[in-house]
Structure 1
Amino acid sequence: MLDVCLLGTGGMMPLPKRYLTALLVRHNGKSILIDCGEATQVPLYQSSYSVKDIDHILFTHFHGDHTAGLPGLLMTMGNSMRTEDLHLWGGAGLERVVKGLTVICNHLPFKIVCHELPWKEQSVFQAGELMITAQPVKHSVPCLCYSLYLPRIGKFDVEKAKALDLPVIYWKHLQRGENVEFEGKTFTPEMVMGPTRRGLKVSYATDCRPSADIVKTVADSDLFVAEGLYGDEEKWQSAKEKGHMIYREAAQMALEANVGELWFTHYSPAMTNPHEFLDKAREIFSNAYCGSNLKEKTLRFKDEDESDA
């Protein structure tokens, strides 16, 4: 399963009741943070998640409302006596940006590892058990959207395992994807595992204009967290000129991408009531919701037994 927590929903600046947009995704006790604007650690401390469990931070782009919270978060991690490497992912220039942001973070007890991704072509990498796709998007500066996918192995076929005459104590290793050596023979997971099943997918796109590339990247996501800078149609031209989306555009992409659920985020400070425009968005995509501070959801694998029958 995947635990998802939207730490904040604001754009440009944190407000008293609206933290800056950041998303936390947790699997098996380890977390991935997407974006880290000013004061991101405040809602993090209000949540049930720990800063010590964050092993990866993904940056969509380098505007301050997505990066300026990094120094404080790093110092908090250091004070918690974290020693494991912290992996940072972002477009070309990430290392230079991180170097500037961390001037005040002296003597951290852990290593920061920067991974620079291309701004102009899609890239795929692994973080823990999650496969992550970084897709370039159109904004006022180079920017990426991310899709996180947790694969699911096939079902273990007991009858096939019995037919191999392999002792039961070795079965768990095959289930974990490991090869087994027994009596001079090599047994592989493919011998006992069924076809790969549908996994879980979370996608995140903010500070961007809608595009077919985004639709393709986020296709079939269980949860799509997308920018809705404005809900008001009259603000569309302003959003377009600044490289942003409004509710209607995010809802249309959610529909075309066949996602399970849509959360709006990255609201303009000028939009004081995001729910005011939700009904119009639901006319396009019915399973749309307004994101809010600490909005959470646990995604679980669907039981595919019936669909496989």
Structure 2
Amino acid sequence: MTFELTILGATSATPTVGKHPTSQLLNYNDQFYLIDCGEGTQVQLLRYDFKFNRINHIFISHLHGDHYFGLLGLLFSMHLQKRTNDLHLYAPRGLDEIILTHFKHSKSVLHYTLIFHPFEGNEPELLLDNEDITVTTIPMNHGILCCGFLFREKPKKLNINKERLPTNLPVPLILALKDGEDIFFEGKLIRNEELTLPPKPLRSYAFCADTKYTESIIPQIQNVDWLYHEATFTEDLAHRIEEGTYHSTAKQAAMIAKKSNAKQLIIGHFSVRYGDLNILLQEAKEVFENTVLAVEGHTYQITA
């Protein structure tokens, strides 16, 4: 099944020509999940040929504007496109007030139902549990309520080993095998693994939003397949963090990836001061080799 991530924006704070604030689109089995919605997100969705109304779940990490200023425009564009399906919005409490205030004073209404799911952010919270994936918050350290999101693939039904399957095996027993059960057939116990193929490894993706270096997240993301971690600064500007910016360096992002035993690291949320992002990439790779830059428009395959 498809499990892929497209970067829509990877710049911190201020957009520039060709560089947009944080936004990502996760596609799992043709179900689309929007992660953060910085200014210009809907333009980026159009640029990379994604349909607004295929998005049914939006996750906002925190209420700094560069992570949600694109949301109101996107919501209203969905309205103009005659959306009727419910839209689920997961965000810190308070974003609902911002949206309602806007629609109150602009005398606007939506054709569809917007369902708000607030999270508190102090402890990991299960936000979504459907037939495909679970989504859980990852509490960050950013000076205000801020959470990342952990997407985990759920186990699927097992595939039958057709070469070993008895031709006269009844359908109910085949279905039991696909559910992982052992079966009795013709007076014998048949172990599930005798007639099924080994399950595929389950995939996972962790989005670690704006945060200071914090090891408290490591147990929750341990052994994650793909990790996105903000890398606003190079190490020579680490003092900015202590001055109250609550961000991370590329080296610190790599340290989290290494200590959590992630398979792959994506760094993003780059300060606009860096014209050449390779300096951030090299700093991270000195600690964690399997590091790539978050590149706008690039799609990454989430593999186990």
User: TM-score normalised to the size of structure 2?
Assistant: 0.85
CA distance in 2: counterparts of 1:258 and 1:105, whole angstroms: 50
How far 1:19 moved relative to its partner? Answer: 0.7
Pairing of 1:234-245 with structure 2 (within 5 A): 234-240=236-242, 241-245=244-248
Kindly state the Cα deviation for residue 21 of structure 1 after the two structures are TM-superposed.
1.0
Structure 1 residue 91, shift from structure 2 partner: 2.2
- Tell me the amino acid that sits aligned with residue 209 of structure 1: K
- Residue matched to 2:122: 120
Q: Could you report, residue by residue, the CA deviation over 1:44-78 in whole angstroms, capped at 9, with x for unpaired residues?
A: 11113221111111111011111111111012111
Give the total of aligned pairs: 288
- When residues 48 and 260 of structure 1 are mapped into structure 2, their CA distance, relative to the original with a 3 A threshold, is farther
**Correspondence for 2:170:** 166
Change (3 A) 1:214 1:293: same
Aligned ranges 1:54-203 → 2 under 5 Å: 54-103=55-104, 104=106, 106-126=108-128, 128=130, 129-153=132-156, 155-158=158-161, 162=166, 165-167=169-171, 171=174, 175=178, 197-203=200-206
1:226 maps onto 2:229 in alignment: yes
Partner SS for 1:3: strand
The alignment's C-alpha RMSD in Å is 2.8
Segments of structure 1 that go 5 or more residues without pairing to the other structure are 180-189, 303-309
Gapped regions of structure 2 (runs ≥ 5):
182-191
TM-score with structure 1 length normalisation?
0.83
How far apart in 1 are the matches of 2:76 and 2:276?
Answer: 34
Deviation of 1:164 (Å) = 9.3
Q: CA deviation at 1:140?
A: 1.8
Cα distance in 2 for residues equivalent to 1:299 and 1:289: 13
Code of the aligned partner of 2:265: L
Measure, in 2, the Cα distance between the counterparts of 1:125 and 1:171.
Answer: 33
For residues 256-271 of structure 1, the aligned pairs below 5 Å read 256-271=259-274
1:186 equivalent in structure 2: none
Paired AA for residue 300 in structure 2: K
Q: Partners in 2 of 1:174 and 1:209 — Cα distance?
A: 47
TM superposition shift of 1:298: 2.1
Q: Which residue of 2 aligns with 1:185?
A: none
Q: Could you say if the C-alpha distance between residues 199 and 48 of structure 1 is closer, same or farther in structure 2, counting changes exceeding 3 Å? A: farther
Partner of 1:33: 34
Alpha-carbon distance change, 114 to 161 in structure 1, aligned in 2, over 3 angstroms: farther
Alignment check: 8 A CA contact 2:120 2:145 kept: no
**Residue matched to 2:43:** 42
Q: For the residues of structure 2 that align with 1:193 and 1:109, how far apart are their CA atoms?
A: 47
**For the residues of structure 2 that align with 1:25 and 1:102, how far apart are their CA atoms?**
28
Query: How many Å separate the matches in 1 of 2:107 and 2:33?
Result: 21
Question: Could you say if the C-alpha distance between residues 154 and 84 of structure 1 is closer, same or farther in structure 2, counting changes exceeding 3 Å?
Answer: closer
Q: Using the TM superposition, name which of 119-128 and 199-208 deviates more.
A: 119-128
Distance 2:201 2:53 in 1: 30
Q: CA deviation at 1:125?
A: 2.8
C-alpha distance in structure 1 between counterparts of 2:300 and 2:107, whole Å: 33
SS in 2 for 1:152: coil
Structure 1 299/48 Cα, relative in aligned 2: closer, same or farther at 3 Å?
A: farther
